[in-house]
Structure 1
Amino acid sequence: METRTEREQELEWKAAQSTVINVDLVAAAKSQLEFLAAVDKNRWLYEGPALGRAIYRYNDCWLPMLAKHSESPFFEGPLVVPLDCEWVWHCHRLNPVRYKSDCEEFYGRILDNHCVISSVRGISEKKTEEIWKQLYPDEPYEMDLTSVLQENISGKLGSKKCTKYDLVLAVERQSPFFYQVSRPHMKNDCYLEGAVARYKGFLHLIRRNKERFIKSFSVPTYDIDLIWHTHQLHPASYCKDLVEIMGKVLEHDDTDSDRSKGQKLDVGFSGTTKQWEEIYGSRYWRAGAMYRGNAPSPVRKTPYSADIEARKVAASYENQKIMHLRNMKVLEVMLEFVGVRNLPVEHKGSLFVSFSKTQPDAIFNAKRSLTILSESGEKQVACFQCEPNGNLLFELMSRSTPSLLVSKPSKTIGSTSISLEDFLSPDSNLTVEKWLELVPSSNVSESKPTCLRVAISVTVPTPAPYVLRMIRSQPFSKSSCLFPLPVRVQFAKSWTRVIDEGGNEIINLQIRGSKKSKSMKNNIRREVVGITKSGETSTLAEFAEKQWSLINSPWSLQLPHTNNDDGHILELTGPRTVKLFPGGRLDYESKHCKKHKSGHELEHYLMTAVEFSAEDPYGRAVALIDLKYGTLKVKEEWFLLPGSLLAFILGNISRKEGYNSFTISGKTLKKEELNEEVDGFLAEGNKMNLTSGKKEELDIKVAKGNSVTPTKDGTCSGGCGGGCGSGCGNAMRSEASGGCGAGCGGGCGGGGGCGNMAKCGGCGGCGGCGGGCGNKLANGGCGGCGGCGGGGCGNMLANVTVAGDGCINGQPKQATTQANEILVA
C-alpha cells in the first residue's frame, strides 16, 4: 500500500464513518453483554447433555415457532426466547452466511430478531409460554436441567428440520468470548461509540482491499469484534448492510483458533495493523481491547446452590466504620511514540522517549522509556495503569554510542506533556494521536520546533482495588536502649501496622489472650484489638466456639463443612457467602512459566477470597491475601474490615513465613477430616508447620503447637512476584533481564526492580495479579504497575495482543486470533 499524506488519511477515515448501518450498535452491544453475562451464570449451556437438549429445542421448537410468528404473529408484541434457545441461536447467527443459507433452505427467508426479545430483558414471557405449550405440550418452555441430566434425547435429535452446521463446536468456540469483553469499560457509551467508529473503519478497510483485489486476512481487536458480533445478531440488517457496503455478506467463520506466532491469525493481525495505520494514520491497538489471555480456571464446576440470595451488607454496625480509605479510580493506558521531526542539526546518537507522571500517583510511580517507531523501526507499545489525573510527561532523549572506555550519559533534547484529564471530557473519544511541540532543554533557538508524534489510548476510569500492607513491629527490649523506658513500653507486645499504598497508617492490630473460660477447658480466649488513627482502642474479633467472630458484626471465620466439594479451606460467613481458596484464583490466577519454580512456590503463600451469590454462582474473587509479604488486595469497600482481620489472623498464625499446608503432629489431614480432628485450630495462636509440599498436593493440614521451620524462599530474583516473562534473572544485577514475568504472586516485597527497562523484555504481564512487578516501595521498582486483577496490564513494553475474528477478502474465512507481538524489544 502506497504512503499517504495526512490529508488523505483524514479523508479515508471520514469516508469510513459515512458507512451506513441500520442498527443502534451501542444499545445492542450492551444488550449482548447482558445476555452473555446471563449465559455465563448458567455454564451448563456450554457443554454436555444440557447443550445437546438446548440444540434440540432450538431446531425443533424455537426456529419453527419463530418462523410462524414472523409470517403470521400469534399476538401483538414480540416473542420472548428461552435462554437456552437464545444461546444456540446466538452462536448460529455468528456464522451469518451459514445462518442465512439454513434459514432460506428450511423456511424460505432469513428469520430475523426484530420481533424477539431476550429473556434477560425482564419482559413478561407469559404470552410466549402459552403459545409454546400449545405447540409443544410435551416440552416445557423453560428447560428443566434436572430432567435433562436424566433423560436420553438421542432419539429426538434431528427428527425435524435441522442444520448440518456443528452447533456444539460453534458453542465451544464462542464460550470464551465473554471473558474477553466482560470488563466494566466495555459497557461505557463513550467507549462503545469509539468501537462503532472503529468497526466502520474495519469494514471500510476490507472494502478498499476488495476494490484493489488485495486478498488479506483482516483480524479485529476485541472492541471491534464485539460490535461485529452485535451487527451479525441482527441477521436481516447485517445481510442488507453488508451487501450495500461491499456487495456481499461478509463471512465470519470462527473455525480457526491457532494462536501461535507466525500462524495465519498472528500474520493476519500484523497485516491488518499495518494496513490500518497506513490508510488512516492512527494506531490500530486500543486500550482495553486487546487479548487478555485464557480465562482463569473456575473454582467450581457446578454453581453454588446454597442460600446465596443477594443481601446488602449492613453498614450500621460500629466496627465497619473504623477503616477509611481513599476511593481511587484507575484507567488503562496504551502509549506509542510514532515519529519525530525537526531534530536539532547537532543531534547524534540513538533516540528514545522517557515518560512519567508529573504528579504523585499511587498506582504508577516510575519513569519508563520507549523507542520511536520512525527512528528505530521497532514498534514498542507501553501498557500500564494509573490514576486518571495529572499529566504524562515526555522527554525526548539522545543516547550516544558508548566507546570502550567511556559511557556518556543520555542527553535531554526537549520535553512536553499531556493531561490525562483531557481524555475524560465529554467530547473526548478516549484516544489522541497528534504532534506535540517540545520545549527545548537548552536556550538554543531552532528555526522550527522539534515535534514528537504521540499516540495514546485510555479506558474510562473504574474503581481501583484497595491495597493494604501489614507491617509487624517488634517489642522493645531492655538491652536495646541506653535510657530506661516506662514499664508499659518495655514490655509492650508487638503490634501490626496496617498501611495503605501511600504509607498512611490505617489501624494497628494485635492478638492478645485473656482469662480462661470454664466452657473452653484448656483453651485460652483470644481476641483481636485495634487502635485507630485517633487513638481509640476497641476489640474487633474474638475466638470462641471453634471460630473467630467479628465483634458488633455478623461475620465469622469457620472451617469448611464436611460436604466441601470445591477445595476451599476456610469460610467467612455473614451477610455474604465468602470462601477462601489456596493460591491465586480467578482474577488472581498466576501466569508464571512452568520452567520457573518460584511462581509455584509463591502460590503457597496466597489465599483468594471468593464470593458466591445469585449474580456469581461460580464465584467472584473479592480479595487476595499474601501471607508471605503481608499484603491484602481488596476489590470492594464492604470487604475491607473482614478482609483485613482475616489477613491479620492468618498472618499472625503463619508468622508471615508463608503458607503451604497445615499439619497436626506431622499427620496430613484430608479435607473431610478437618471438622473431626481440628478443634480450635485458630485458638491459642498456634503456629503453622511450613512444609514446601508438592505443587499438586491439595490436602489440607493444620498445625497445632508445632515449631515453625521456615521454608526456603523461592521468589524470583529481583522480587518479581512469581512471574516469568522470558526468564527472570536477577533484575538488580543484569540490565538485560529477560522480563519480570506476569506480575503474579503477592507483590515483589523488596524486589530490586528490572534493571534497564529499555533492555528488559517486558515486566508485569497482562492480567497480573500480585503486587505488581516491582514493589514501588522498593529501590528501582520494576517495569509496570502490576495490573492488580481485572486483567490489567501492569507492564511496560507490553506485547500488544488481540483475539478477534478474521475475514479473508475475496475468499471469506474467519478465525479467532490471539496474540500478536507488536513489540520488538
Structure 2
Amino acid sequence: MDMQIELERESEWAEAQKIEISVDLVAAAKQQLNFLAAVDRNRVLYDGPALQRAIYRYNAFWLPLLAKHSESHLVEGPLVVPLDCEWIWHCHRLNPIQYKSDCEDLYGRILDNSNVVSSTQGACSRQTEEIWRKLYPEEHYELDFAAAFEEDISEKMLGLEKSTAYDLVSAVKRQSPFFYQVSMPHMSHALFLVEALARYKGFLHLIRRNKEKSMRRFCVPTYDIDLMWHSHQLHPVSYCEDLIRVHGKVLEHDDMDSDRSEGQKLDVGFSGTTNQWEETFGKRYWRAGAMYRGATPSPVTHVPFSPKSKKIKDLLSSDGYQNIVHVPDVKFVEVLLEFVGVRGLPEGHKGRLSVLFSKSQPDLFFNAKQRLSIWSESGEKMVASFNCEPKGELLFELVSYCPSTLPIKRTPRVLGSVSLSLQEYLVPVSKLSDEKWLELVPSSGYASSESMCLRVGFSFTVPNPALYVLHMVRSRPFIKSSCLFPLPGRVQHAKSWTSVMNDDGTEVITLQMRSSKKEKMKDNFTPRKEVIGITASGETRTLAEFMENGWSLLGSRWSLQFQKSSRENSHLCMLIGDRVVNIFPGRKLCYEPKHHETQKKERDFVTAVEFSADSPYGEAVALINLKSGMVKIKEEPLLLTMVVLAFVLSDIMENKGFEGVAAMEDNVEADNSIKKESRFPAVDKESVTALPVESQIELNGDAVKGIEEVPSNSLSTASGCGSGCGSGCGNMVKSDGCGSGGGRGFGNMVKSSGCGGCGAGCGSGCGGGCGGGCGSMVKSTGCGGCGGGCGDGCGNMVKSSGCGGCGGGCGGCGGGAMVAGSRR
C-alpha cells in the first residue's frame, strides 16, 4: 500500500514537471535579484516625492514610449528602461490581471518586455536616451531627484491624458519589503534556483488540481517559489499565454493580505498549501533558506551616503597590519530536518518513539544532541532548524520511552541508528533537499523480521562563509567595573593583558592599554595612551595611539573621532580613513534584535556600519559586545581594526574618561526616538512573531517545565537549543547579536499548531545569512510559521497556536476554483 502511494506521488511530481514555461526563469530570477538590489540602493523610490515623480514619469513617458516601441522598433538594439520607471513597471506587472486590464484600456494590448532590458544589465542606453530627448525634450531620461523633491506633480498627474487605474503607490509599498526576504546569498545560486523552478511548477500543478476538483483554496508559496512566480509575471505576455495553457485563465497574484496571525487568510492558506503539497508529492513543503525572515530591520539613516571609495572588502592593506591576525575561514549551512515516519519496528514494541539527532563529529555550530518527534507517531509536525559546518555526518538514533506509572523517569532505549553524509550533498553541492527512507542498524536485542527504516526529510542552503567571532579575555582578576568578563578555562597571560581568542580557544593576539613613556617625561601634559599588541609569532606592534584630537588606529590608517550627542545623527563615533564606518550604539540592521529587550541590554552593544556606493544606507560589518568581549566581524580585512576598536571602546566604557560615554547613552535614546518617528517602524514582538504567543520560556542551560537538555553521553529528553539565523521560520529568539555571516551559539524551539515551518534560530550571527549553534525546533500541526532571529546565547522556547505563512503570494484567479496568494 505504501509503495502504491509513493508511486502515485512520484507520478504527480513528474506530471508537474511537464508544465511548459516559455521563459528562462532561472536567468530571469537572477536578473530580478540584481534589479531589486539596485532599487534598494535608491530607497527614495519606496515612498515620498521621488515615488510620486517616478509614477508620473511611468505614466507620462515610459508607457507611451513602450507602446510606440512595440509597434515599430524605435532603436536598433533593445530599449533600456530608466531605473525609476522600471521599478514602477515592476510593481505594476506583479498584479498581472490589473496590468493586463490597464494596458488594454490605455493601449489596446498588453505591453510586453520583449526587446527591453534593464538599466542594471549594463546595456548601452545611448540610443534610448536620444529617442527620449526627441519625444520628451523637457524631461531628463534619468530621474532628477532634486527636482522630484522640489516640484509638486499632483496637478500634472491629474492632467495626464492616459493613466493607469491601479494604485501604484500601494503596490510599491507592498513590494518594497520583498527584497529583504530574498537577499540572502544562496538565493542567486544556480542549483537553488533550478530546484526553485521545479517547486514553482509543483505549485502551479497544485492549483491546477484544485481547479479540476472544483476546490477553492488560497495557495501561499514559500519565498523560493514566489521569486520564480514574480520572475514569470515580469514577462506579461509569456505569463498570460503559459497560464492560459496550464489553467485556462491567468492566475492572479494577490499580495493584499499581511496578517500572519492564527486563523487568518495567510495562516489558513499556508497550512492548506503545506498539507496538500505533502499529500500530493510526498515531499516536504518547507525549504531551507526560503522561509520568512521576519520584518525588515530598521535603517540607521534615511539619507543615502555615496563615498568615492570602494567597499572595505575590496581594499587590501598595504602596510602589513592585515597579516597580524590569522583566523581560519569557516563555512556553514542552514539545515531543516523532519522525521516523517518509521516502519519495521520490533514485534511487541511498546513505548513513545522519537529520534535523537547530532553530528557524528560536533562542529563550531552544532555540538549537542537534540530530540525530535516523528510525525506519523506523534501527530505533531516538528521541524528542526539548525546551522552546522557542511561536512561530516548527521547521526540519527531511534529511541523508545517505555510508559511507566512510577514517578521516576525511565531511561530511553535506543532501537537503532543511521547516519546521513553531508558531503554526499554538499561537497560539491549537488542537491539541496531530499526525502527518503534510511535503513537503521538495529541495536543489540532489537532485531525485527523486516528492516527497520526511518523516513527523513531534509533541506540545506548552499554553504556560505560564517562570521569571524573573536573573544577578548582579561588576564587580571575580574573586577566589578570591568566591561570584559574573563572566561573560565582560558589561558591567563601577564597582568593587565587581554587575550583575543578564536572560537576554538586559539589565541590570535594579546593586547595591552598603556601610557606612552615618552609623553610621561613632559611636564604638565596628559600622558598619551597607546594599544600594544603581541602577535602569535611574538612580534610587538603599536596598534593605536590616543592623540590630542582622538584615537589613531593601525599606523594612522584610521582615526576614531567621537561626536557630541545629537538627535539628528545617532552614531557614537566614526572611523575615518579611506572608507566611512560609523559606530552606532546598540544592535543595528542585520544584528537588530527580533523581539523586545531592555534598554540596558542594548547598551552592551555597538554596531560598526560601513557606508559605500554599494551600501549607501549602511551595511553592518561588525558587532561588539562591550560586556562579554565578543566581537563578530563580517569581512576578513576588518578583523584587526574591529578588535582594536573593541579594545579601545571597552577601555573608554570602563574608565568613563571620555565624553563618548554620555554620547552613547544619549544616542541610544535619540535613535529610538528616530525609529518611532520614521516611516520604518521599530522591530518589535508583534512585527516579527508569525503567530500569537501564549508563553515564552528562556533557556539558560537549566531544565524548564519538563524540558531537559540531552548531554552528549546520555539519552534524556532534549531542550531545543539551537542556532542560526537568516531566513527561516520559528518565532522569537533570545539573541546576542547577528550578522550576515555565520555565528556560534544556541537557538530556539517553537511550538505551534501550524505546519512545520522552519526557522532560523539564534547564534552569534544572523541576518543576511547565517548564525550558528545547536539548532532550533519548530513544533506544529498545521502550517509553517516563520521568523528570523539571531544572537549568541541559548535562545528561548515559544509555544504558539498558529503558523504564519512564509511570505509569497496568492490571489484569486478570478472566479472558478483557482486561488493563489502572496504575502509580503
Same topology, TM > 0.5: yes
Q: Which deviations, in whole Å up to 9, do the C-alpha atoms of 1:215-261 show, x marking residues without a partner?
A: 11100000000000000000010000000011110001212222212
For the residue of structure 1 that corresponds to 2:777, the secondary structure is coil
Q: Does 1:575 align with 2:578?
A: yes
Change (3 A) 1:149 1:781: closer
Give 2:437's aligned residue.
435
Give 2:10's aligned residue.
10
Give 2:587's aligned residue.
584
For the residue of structure 2 that corresponds to 1:237, the secondary structure is helix
Give 2:639's aligned residue.
640
Contact 1:365 1:776 in 2 (8 A): no
Q: CA RMSD in A?
A: 3.2
Give 2:791's aligned residue.
none
Give 1:670's aligned residue.
none
Q: CA deviation at 1:32?
A: 0.3
For 1:295 and 1:491, the matched residues in 2 are separated by 43
Q: Does 1:609 align with 2:631?
A: no
Q: CA deviation at 1:520?
A: 9.7
For 2:562 and 2:624, the matched residues in 1 are separated by 17
Give 2:426's aligned residue.
424
Change (3 A) 1:13 1:42: same
Q: Pick which of 394-403 and 419-428 moved more.
A: 419-428
Change (3 A) 1:289 1:155: same
For 2:75 and 2:238, the matched residues in 1 are separated by 24
Give 1:243's aligned residue.
244
For 2:56 and 2:346, the matched residues in 1 are separated by 71
Match of 2:736 among 758, 770, 774: 770
Q: Which deviations, in whole Å up to 9, do the C-alpha atoms of 1:289-338 show, x marking residues without a partner?
A: 00000000000011025555557423221221011111111111100000
Q: Does 1:265 align with 2:266?
A: yes
For the residue of structure 2 that corresponds to 1:407, the secondary structure is coil
Q: Does 1:181 align with 2:187?
A: no
For 1:257 and 1:495, the matched residues in 2 are separated by 53
For 1:285 and 1:176, the matched residues in 2 are separated by 21
For 2:625 and 2:708, the matched residues in 1 are separated by 23
- 1:98-137 correspondence runs (5 A): 98-137=98-137
Amino acid at match of 1:166: D
Give 1:317's aligned residue.
319
Q: CA deviation at 1:690?
A: 12
Amino acid at match of 2:366: F
Give 1:352's aligned residue.
354
Change (3 A) 1:553 1:15: farther
- 1:217-616 correspondence runs (5 A): 217-310=218-311, 312-425=314-427, 428-474=430-476, 493-515=495-517, 517=519, 521-552=524-555, 554-560=557-563, 565-593=568-596, 599-616=598-615
Contact 2:306 2:611 in 1 (8 A): no
For 1:309 and 1:536, the matched residues in 2 are separated by 31
Contact 1:336 1:380 in 2 (8 A): yes
For 1:758 and 1:727, the matched residues in 2 are separated by 17
Give 2:53's aligned residue.
53
For 2:129 and 2:365, the matched residues in 1 are separated by 52
Change (3 A) 1:452 1:307: same
For the residue of structure 2 that corresponds to 1:369, the secondary structure is strand
Give 2:626's aligned residue.
627
Q: Does 1:806 align with 2:810?
A: yes
Q: CA deviation at 1:560?
A: 3.4
Change (3 A) 1:573 1:613: same
Contact 1:299 1:619 in 2 (8 A): yes
Contact 1:622 1:635 in 2 (8 A): yes
Q: CA deviation at 1:766?
A: 5.9
Q: Pick which of 575-584 and 760-769 moved more.
A: 760-769
Give 1:667's aligned residue.
none
Change (3 A) 1:223 1:698: closer
Q: Pick which of 132-141 and 789-798 moved more.
A: 789-798
Amino acid at match of 2:777: L
Q: Which has the larger radius of gyration?
A: 1
Q: Which deviations, in whole Å up to 9, do the C-alpha atoms of 1:2-36 show, x marking residues without a partner?
A: 99700000010001011100000001100000000
For the residue of structure 2 that corresponds to 1:456, the secondary structure is strand
Q: Does 1:97 align with 2:97?
A: yes
Q: CA deviation at 1:493?
A: 3.3
Contact 1:735 1:756 in 2 (8 A): no
For the residue of structure 1 that corresponds to 2:228, the secondary structure is helix
For 1:153 and 1:389, the matched residues in 2 are separated by 58
Match of 1:786 among 763, 769, 776: 763
Contact 1:807 1:815 in 2 (8 A): yes
Q: Which deviations, in whole Å up to 9, do the C-alpha atoms of 1:133-180 show, x marking residues without a partner?
A: 111111111110001111121111041211111000000100000000
- 1:67-86 correspondence runs (5 A): 67-86=67-86
Q: CA deviation at 1:644?
A: 0.5
Change (3 A) 1:421 1:566: farther
For 1:491 and 1:379, the matched residues in 2 are separated by 51
Change (3 A) 1:367 1:758: closer
For 2:319 and 2:807, the matched residues in 1 are separated by 47
TM-score for both structures, normalised by structure 1:
0.84
For the residue of structure 2 that corresponds to 1:396, the secondary structure is strand
Change (3 A) 1:50 1:355: same
Change (3 A) 1:363 1:96: same
Q: Which deviations, in whole Å up to 9, do the C-alpha atoms of 1:451-485 show, x marking residues without a partner?
A: 000111001011100011111011799xxxxxxxx
Match of 2:776 among 769, 789, 796: 796
For the residue of structure 2 that corresponds to 1:381, the secondary structure is strand
Q: Which deviations, in whole Å up to 9, do the C-alpha atoms of 1:44-100 show, x marking residues without a partner?
A: 001111111111110111011011011011121110000000000000000001111
Q: Does 1:192 align with 2:169?
A: no
For 1:694 and 1:40, the matched residues in 2 are separated by 26
Match of 1:735 among 704, 719, 728: 704
For 1:117 and 1:346, the matched residues in 2 are separated by 67
For 1:309 and 1:206, the matched residues in 2 are separated by 47
TM-score for both structures, normalised by structure 2:
0.84
- In the alignment, structure 1 segments of 5+ residues that lack a partner are 478-489, 657-661, 665-677, 682-687, 701-723, 741-754, 819-825
Q: Pick which of 396-405 and 132-141 moved more.
A: 396-405
Amino acid at match of 1:642: T
Change (3 A) 1:564 1:327: farther
Amino acid at match of 1:557: L
Change (3 A) 1:94 1:105: same
Q: CA deviation at 1:653?
A: 2.8
Change (3 A) 1:362 1:245: same
Give 1:149's aligned residue.
149
Contact 1:736 1:756 in 2 (8 A): no
Amino acid at match of 1:45: L
Amino acid at match of 1:94: L
Q: CA deviation at 1:546?
A: 2.2
For 2:672 and 2:454, the matched residues in 1 are separated by 58
Query: What count of residue pairs does the alignment treat as equivalent?
Result: 736
